[in-house]
Structure 1
Amino acid sequence: MASIPLEHVLLLSAALFCIGVLAIVTKRHAVAILMGIELIFNAANLNLIAFSQHDPKLLQGQVFALFVIVIAAAEAAIALAIVLKVYQHFNTVNINEVDASQG
């Protein structure tokens, strides 16, 4: 079975991280920002699993990745609930149009 070189996995992870940061910085829509955060979490998971392949006796990378997946799922559920409440109150999910002093 052919192994993927660590450098290739790290480059893919860096690309995912950069795309996630770019989405957070440039987007105004709350759901798009959440998608950027999820991309950053996935880049971290990819790094953890790639580095854990160097020591197959220890499963620390996979365990940390599992925790990150659970935290990302909880974050997504809470953030989407907040986005729904903001939409109900302000009738928009555009971050620039939401003003806390209106409510």
Structure 2
Amino acid sequence: LADVQGGLFAAHEQALAQPVPPVVYDFHGFLAVVDELEGFDFARKQPPEKVDASFLLAMDNAQGLLAMGQAMIPQLAELTIEPDGKAHRFELPEA
């Protein structure tokens, strides 16, 4: 048991030693509201066929978060989203 715990804690210590991205310090919270979820079957591990949801992020530096997200996710880079504090509707591509 000690060997397992030692390896487990070592992995967590290594992860915690990594620097936190600066954008994390500007993060205050989020709100997600799922209005509609069609075709989801948790027991069969079937992802939903359709999701209608809203997601709100509370950030001091929305431009930094958007730039980081666009650098990591090509589909996000293709969207025209302005970090202007207003709600923006966009459709996510199907997986």
- Alignment TM-score, normalising by the size of structure 1: 0.27
Structure with greater contact order relative to length (CA < 8 Å, sep ≥ 6): 1
Please say which structure displays the higher CA radius of gyration: 2
Higher-strand-fraction structure: 2
Larger helix proportion of the pair: 1
